[in-house]
Structure 1
């Protein structure tokens, strides 16, 4: 199997490239199908274009057009690719799909159809046509080694392409989501080597690669002292594309028709109303009326529903895209002033709101991501299988306690509950001390009394951007059950965990 080297111009994405390259280089006979999805601006097109180019494959980017125009454009592209004297005549989509499969008669050929949902919008039966074309035993399939990749940014559509009774279910040999960069990769991509600054930048632009390149013209904060000025000139500046991006994220998804309602739901979550009842109360609707908009926002990849790991049946909602959280908390309430280029004034008076509604929740999410993806298993007492937030109820006092982090281990081999590896307190703007550790200790005692929870080895994790008191540091140094996490630890490489930030 030939190996396709990842081009130097693609940052990170080693896992995605490896999967795509393996799919494209498969020498076995028979045409195969792959599906690539992900929100816009994540670099899917670059990945697939470079994949096709590296292996001498065919790339076609669909546009919003009628079926006739799309067939004509595809025929022109096929003519150019095959060296035909003119466009290839494609009378219908069945002929078009067979023409694509025919490209792989002599060797494995990557065939990319980007923005596939545009084609289906004009030709609803296209998935069924592809299903038929890939029927096992059909000569056009067996004689071909085309590696057909369908790509799209409409997550609700792409998610249903292979689900349930969809025509293409069972036909795909690859289903690859292209996610935003994680917080560590995002820091490297933006060239930020200060951990506190990295958290601040990530809390606004997240891990979307295009936001650095096209949307702010490679303008990144030069250091911590430049952060405020960077926000004003790059994010709150009406002349920069990033300024309106959060609005466009909703407007460009075809399933988000009632944008006013969806903006209100997102605003409710950004304000800290994470439950369905809280969201309903904020926007003045009944909780039963929110099933559809919440489902649509989940399918679009803008909201995620996270279960409470200590209370069955309870869950909360979180905004996945940092830029939307920032827009809802900081930009939307002051939109008129921002359009009048009063960004510096808006930013100055938004500091408290930014810290509480944007930085705090995003810092909690980064710590949870660290626990499940980057923490040494020895630090938390074992591999973390699942992490989230939770609410713990004290039956004696009838009080509820919020836990910013709950880390659960893998299920035991025999019977018994999964191990509760750690519970944690995460604070962005407050220094943590012994009272915070004592509170976690009391909550652990409550968990030890509960059935269905194995808290015998539960560790106490405290994470703070402001650091810890000397008394807490001294106490923790003598206790293997206490874990202290600051931004330096969050961004430390696996080879240098104790030294903090590694760049």
Structure 2
């Protein structure tokens, strides 16, 4: 029950869109996609809950036509009179709701399947059929939507299901401090979030000792959804997780023959990697650097991948100090979410130039600069003075400073700065 409730946190718009399409009086072709474990299947199953006019089919690597017929026939016995081809089966299911989950498996099994479904769509335009195609391979599903696809221009709606925000973790009943630790591991992916039982470090160290733990090969599964050969992609991700953020640094670490930019572009496309630029710069800025945008992937390459031998021996544990150090950048992401909510800025991110870096810079009607310390007993005056010097060196002016910390050595109201400790974060988190 907790997992199901978590799936539908902050999914009201997606669910409403699906319900509108399912209840429309016309034909619908809806494409739903997003990474594994994000809750696509649960979302569509919730949308069709209580309906008796639907067929849900989860595709596999082989024999999908035969298996789809068997599934459909159990719900609608008249399907047994149909010829065993997709056009005939969908003709017998006219005016029904037909859902095919992991549609990329159909494409892999039969390269002509998109042309087949183009004919099906064209033949059913005057019907009330609802055809919903789901997929976890972002690259394949975006190709399905592209102008080169036989289905281009035929979809009536598409939904890309993304991660939950940090504040959505409050619905699982975590304290804000525990939520920070869990978010550093799971990001906003519901399946990972609901596996954790606090305290987090106790849970994850027990999980690492399990011989059947999903932690050992989960990233391999993620990558194999997108790529046949994953070795180079894993090394690129490992390099970025170690702080090698430019193309030159990544290339030197990976030592792959030829150019690596094509590999990185594919990792960007499936949203494991992003090219980050200073918040005041355009996306074309030459100051860009690559970071892992997915917390689970970052966690895996920081703690699991380099320690697989020790994990296999059952001797590896993540210490409190190691994890607190890792959480520094995770905490910055949370602080940026806070600034976006609190100050209603239009744009928020990191700002840097040469050796000067500001953790949080918010741009809008109010310009905000912030520094983040995932530490106890932080001296706010020292941090604020340093932040002011950074802003001055970068040639900026700001309206408001914000200093974040787990706790401060002293805390008082400041005219030009807001001090945000774990208690203040908790108030925002729970609101």
Give the TM-score, by structure 1 length. Answer: 0.76
Contact 1:72–1:90 (Cα < 8 Å) also in 2: no
| Residue from 393, 415, 419 that aligns with 1:484 | 419
Deviation at 1:362, TM superposition (A): 1.1
The answer as to whether partners of 2:82 and 2:92 remain within 8 angstroms in 1 is no
Match for 1:299 among 239, 262, 269? 269
The corresponding residue for 1:321 is: 294
1:152 Cα deviation after fit: 0.3
Superposition deviation, residue 167 in structure 1: 2.4
**Shift in CA distance, 433/478, structure 1 to aligned 2, threshold 3 Å:** closer
The gaps in structure 2 that reach 5 residues or longer are: none
Distance 1:337 1:161 in 2: 42
2:156 counterpart SS class: strand
Q: Quick one: distance in 1 between partners of 2:248 and 2:420?
A: 33
Runs of 4+ in 1 over 4 A off after TM superposition: 7-10
| Alpha-carbon contact 1:76-1:88 (below 8 Å) kept | no
RMSD over aligned Cα atoms:
2.7
1:170-185 alignment, distance < 5 Å: 170-185=153-168
Note the 1:207-356 alignment, pairs <5 A.
207-211=188-192, 216=195, 220-221=197-198, 226-250=199-223, 252-253=224-225, 255-285=226-256, 289-312=259-282, 313=285, 314-343=287-316, 346-348=317-319, 351-356=320-325
Give the match for residue 386 of structure 2: 439
| Inter-CA distance 257–446: structure 2 relative to 1 (3 Å threshold) | same
Within the candidate set 391, 395, 399, 1:458 is matched to: 399
Structure 1 residue 461: Cα displacement: 2.0
Match of 1:365 among 333, 358, 364: 333
Counterparts of 1:292 and 1:178, CA distance in 2: 25
Deviation readout 1:113-155 (Å, 9 max, x if unpaired): 11100111122222233334334xx5x321x112211100011
- Sort the Cα spacing of 1:407 and 1:168 in 2 relative to 1 into closer, same or farther, 3 A: farther
Q: State how many pairs are aligned.
A: 422
Q: Aligned pair in 2 of structure 1 residues 392, 240: CA closer, same or farther (>3 Å)?
A: same
Residue in 2 aligned with 1:416?
A: none
Closer, same or farther: CA 491–123 of 1 in aligned 2, 3 Å: farther
Structure 1 equivalent of residue 33 of structure 2: 37
Give 1:279 deviation, angstroms.
2.0
State whether structure 2 residue 356 is matched by structure 1 residue 401.
yes
Aligned to 2:430: 502
Question: What does residue range 11-160 of structure 1 map to in structure 2 within 5 Å?
Answer: 11-12=8-9, 13-27=11-25, 29=26, 31-56=27-52, 57-65=54-62, 69-84=63-78, 87-100=80-93, 102=94, 104=95, 109-135=96-122, 140-142=124-126, 144-160=127-143
Pair 1:187–1:246, CA change in 2 (3 A) = farther
1:359 Cα deviation from its structure 2 partner: 0.9
Distance 1:502 1:332 in 2: 34
Matched with 2:373 is 427
Q: Is the 8 A contact 2:8 2:43 kept in 1?
A: no
Quickly say closer, same or farther: Cα 1:116–1:170, change in 2 above 3 A.
Answer: same
Gap runs ≥5 in structure 1: 1-6, 394-399, 410-418
Give the structure 2 partner of residue 396 of structure 1.
none
Q: Retained in 2: the 8 A contact 1:34–1:172?
A: yes
Give CA deviations for 1:449-501 in whole Å, capped at 9, x if unaligned: 57xxxx4x532222222x2342xx33xx241x423333443443xxxx4xxx6
TM-score w.r.t. the length of structure 2 is 0.88
User: Could you say what secondary structure the match of 2:15 adopts?
Assistant: helix
SS in 1 for 2:35: coil
Contact 1:120 1:127 in 2 (8 A): yes
Is it true that 1:387 corresponds to 2:327 in the alignment? Answer: no
How far did 1:35 drift?
Answer: 0.8
SS in 2 for 1:272: coil
Q: Structure 2 CA distance, aligned partners of 1:335 and 1:88?
A: 53
Where relative contact order (Cα < 8 A, 6+ residues apart) is larger, the structure is 2
Matched residues in 2 for 1:324 and 1:490: separation?
25
